[in-house]
Amino acid sequence: MATTAMAGQCEPWSDENTYGYHCWGYAEGQVRATALCKDGSLVFGQWRSMKSGEWSYAYCVSGGGLASGQPGW
């Protein structure tokens, strides 16, 4: 999905089981957290508005822990 930038920013966060991502200050667009778990499963957080600042979290608790994470557009 295309987004229109208005001096927006995004920020990731993670711990051993969770990947989180949020954005704020964009005119439009959506983002969600995407995580690869240690057992090879891929999990997704809820879609969040890129202007709201709300966090999206992807959980790997039942997947052996977090291997890596990234935002999904």
pTM of the model: 0.86
Instruction: Say what the pLDDT of residue 6 is.
Output: 58
Handedness of CA 25, 58, 18, 36 (dihedral sign): negative
Q: What is the mean pLDDT of residues 7-18?
A: 95
| Residue 11 parent element (H or E) | strand 9-14
In the chain, % of residues over pLDDT 90: 85
- In angstroms, the Cα distances linking 70 to 18, 56 are 11, 11
Domain ranges of the chain: 9-72
Q: Tokens 């711990």 — which residue?
A: 15
- Least confident span in 5-9, 29-33, 36-40: 5-9
Q: What is the mean pLDDT of residues 9-30?
A: 96
Report the C-alpha gap between 70 and 73 in whole angstroms.
10
Instruction: Say what the pLDDT of residue 5 is.
Output: 46
